């Protein structure tokens, strides 16, 4: 048979048509370039199980979202940003999730309240693309996917998830949790910190900047007076005075507190050049204005007592920080008591 050009074209066309059609009307047919039909980067929950007529049991109903391969470093020409983009090292395990509570946002994101708010605003935009269809525009757990019944509603950010720290939110965005898929391959680290800041504003109604800054001390190793080697304490270091507790709302020193202060007094006598700030802290219950006043009054009681014992007045400065500098997550059962405390900071 003589094959001319027209026959070859016809034959090729017919076989193309036969191969691209399918008997299953739900099938998309043969996908020559699946990436053109299915946007892998954006749709985290696409079902890739059906390719042509073949169902792939292994792939069916799995999320398309994946975490990037271990050690992946995205390119960045800006050295500061490149260091922020270094691989996230907390592991995707139950212990990793616990550890992530204490992970800190790079300090450049929260240098000032304006900077932090601007980042949170960028995060808000990303949130509408990646999160609000499940979590709802205000994070109440009422996104469309949930109201259509596809997912059980996640808790509201300002309810069941109110205590999640920035580090934990970042962790969950990276790896996902339960029914929520990982977003680590869709949002880079910079974007994840911004979204996390936005989630925080949804948790508290605003960024809660004071606690955000103080939160930098959460997870810091606590130095305790009576347990640390006193001459080794450096200027700027915080030391907890554990024995000094107050009745709720009171700034009166207990007898136990006086015992602890007497040994602090001996330290001050032994090191006559040391100057220190006495810092009062509260937990986050009640109005912050009252907390600041109360924490200052408590620090004042300590200073007054020590001065009465003969410490030269100018060596001690009282300060009240309210709840702005927690050392533990404010949880009535575990953390709040730790946050109601007196510390001293060596300033000279
Ligand atoms: C497909 C729906 C869906 C999407 C999209 C989604 N989430 Fe979730 N999210 C959930 C569900 C469901 C849970 C509850 C998870 C569980 O514990 O089973 C959850 C839980 C969370 C938690 C709390 C986890 C914890 O227990 O500490 C945070 C924080 C969170 N999501 C943030 C986000 C952010 C930020 C985004 C966007 C980048 C996002 N989620 C996108 C469904 C989703």
- 110 φ/ψ angles, rounded to the nearest 5 degrees: -125, 30
Residue with structure tokens 């810091």? 220
Residue 146 CA to ligand 1 centre (angstroms): 12
Q: Which long-range contacts (CB under 8 A, 24 or more apart) does 251-255 make?
A: 251/294, 251/297, 251/298, 251/300, 251/301, 252/301, 253/301, 253/302, 253/305
Q: pLDDT for 60-102, tens place per residue?
A: 666 666 677 777 777 788 888 888 888 898 999 999 998 898 8
Residue with structure tokens 């932090």? 116
* Reported confidence tier of residue 334, pLDDT bands at 50, 70, 90: confident
Q: pLDDT for 125-155, tens place per residue?
A: 999 999 999 999 999 999 998 888 877 889 9
Q: Which run of H or of E encompasses 87?
A: none
Report H helices in the chain: 5-20, 34-37, 79-84, 94-100, 113-130, 132-135, 144-147, 166-175, 189-204, 209-214, 255-270, 288-308, 336-339
Q: Which range has the top average pLDDT, 12-21, 38-47, 287-296?
A: 287-296
Q: pLDDT for 210-245, tens place per residue?
A: 778 777 677 777 889 989 888 888 888 889 998 898
Residue 154 CA neighbour count, 13 Å, CB half: 25
Strand partners, 279: 319, 343
The CA–CA distances, whole Å, from 203 to 84, 96, 208 equal: 25, 22, 9
Which domains can be identified in the chain, with CATH numbers?
5-55 (no CATH), 91-216 (1.10.760), 220-346 (3.30.1330.60)
Assigned token pair, 181: 């898929």
Mean pLDDT in the chain?
85
* Residue 174 pLDDT > 90: yes
Residue 286 CA to ligand 1 centre (angstroms): 29
Residue with structure tokens 């050009």? 5
Angle between helices 113-130 and 189-204 (to 10 degrees): 100
The 3-state DSSP class for residue 341 equals strand
Residues near ligand 1 (Cβ within 6 A):
45, 130-131, 133-135, 145, 151, 154, 161, 164, 168-169, 172-173, 177-180, 183, 195, 199
Residue 57 CA to ligand 1 centre (angstroms): 26
Comparison of pLDDT for 205 and 124, the residue scoring more: 124
Angstrom distance (rounded) from CA 300 to CA 319? 8
Q: For ligand 1, atom 10, which residue shows the shortest CA distance?
A: 180
* Reported confidence tier of residue 2, pLDDT bands at 50, 70, 90: low
Angstrom distance (rounded) from CA 67 to CA 112? 32
31 Cβ neighbours under 8 A, 6+ residues apart: 37, 51, 52
Average pLDDT, integer, range 172-189: 92
The 3-state DSSP class for residue 234 equals coil
- pLDDT, residue 330, reads 78
Comparison of pLDDT for 120 and 47, the residue scoring more: 120
Percent of residues, the chain, with pLDDT higher than 70: 84
Sign, CA dihedral 115-117-119-121, equals negative
* Reported confidence tier of residue 296, pLDDT bands at 50, 70, 90: very high
* Residue 57 pLDDT > 80: no
Report H helices in 101-165: 113-130, 132-135, 144-147
The CA–CA distances, whole Å, from 43 to 32, 78, 151, 217 equal: 19, 29, 16, 37
199 CA closest ligand 1 atom index: 35
Residue 64 CA to ligand 1 centre (angstroms): 16
Residue 338 CA to ligand 1 centre (angstroms): 29
Q: For ligand 1, atom 43, which residue shows the shortest CA distance?
A: 180
Assigned token pair, 297: 């009054």
């Amino acid at each position: 048979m003589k094959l001319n050009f027209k026959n070859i074209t016809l034959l090729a066309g017919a076989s193309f048509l036969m191969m691209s059609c399918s008997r299953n009307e739900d099938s998309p047919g043969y996908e020559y370039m699946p990436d053109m039909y299915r946007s892998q980067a954006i749709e985290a929950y696409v079902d890739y199980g059906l390719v042509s007529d073949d169902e792939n049991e292994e792939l069916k109903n799995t999320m398309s979202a994946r975490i990037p391969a271990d050690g992946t470093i995205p390119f960045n020409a800006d050295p500061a940003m490149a260091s922020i983009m270094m691989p996230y090292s907390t592991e995707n395990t139950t212990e990793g999730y616990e550890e992530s509570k204490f992970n800190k946002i790079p300090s450049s994101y929260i240098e000032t309240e304006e900077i932090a708010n601007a980042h949170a605003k960028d995060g808000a935009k990303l949130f509408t693309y990646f999160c609000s269809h499940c979590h709802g525009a205000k994070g109440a757990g009422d996104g469309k996917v949930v109201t259509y019944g596809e997912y059980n509603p996640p808790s509201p950010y300002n309810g069941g998830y109110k205590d999640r720290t920035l580090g934990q939110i970042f962790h969950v965005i990276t790896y996902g949790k339960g029914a929520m898929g990982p977003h680590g391959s869709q949002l880079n680290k910079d974007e994840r910190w911004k979204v996390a800041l936005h989630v925080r504003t949804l948790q508290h109604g605003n960024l809660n900047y004071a606690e955000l800054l103080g939160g930098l001390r959460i997870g810091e190793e606590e130095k305790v007076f009576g347990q640390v080697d006193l001459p080794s304490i450096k200027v700027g270091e915080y030391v907890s005075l554990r024995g000094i507790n107050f009745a709720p709302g009171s700034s009166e020193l207990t007898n136990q507190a006086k015992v602890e202060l007497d040994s602090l007094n001996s330290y001050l006598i032994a090191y006559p050049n040391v100057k220190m700030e006495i810092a009062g802290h509260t937990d986050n219950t009640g109005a912050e204005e009252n907390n600041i006043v109360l924490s200052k009054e408590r620090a004042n009681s300590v200073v007054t007592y020590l001065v009465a014992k003969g410490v030269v007045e100018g060596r001690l400065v009282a300060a009240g920080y309210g709840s702005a500098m927690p050392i533990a997550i404010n949880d009535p059962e575990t953390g709040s008591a730790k946050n109601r405390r007196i510390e001293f900071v060596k300033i000279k």
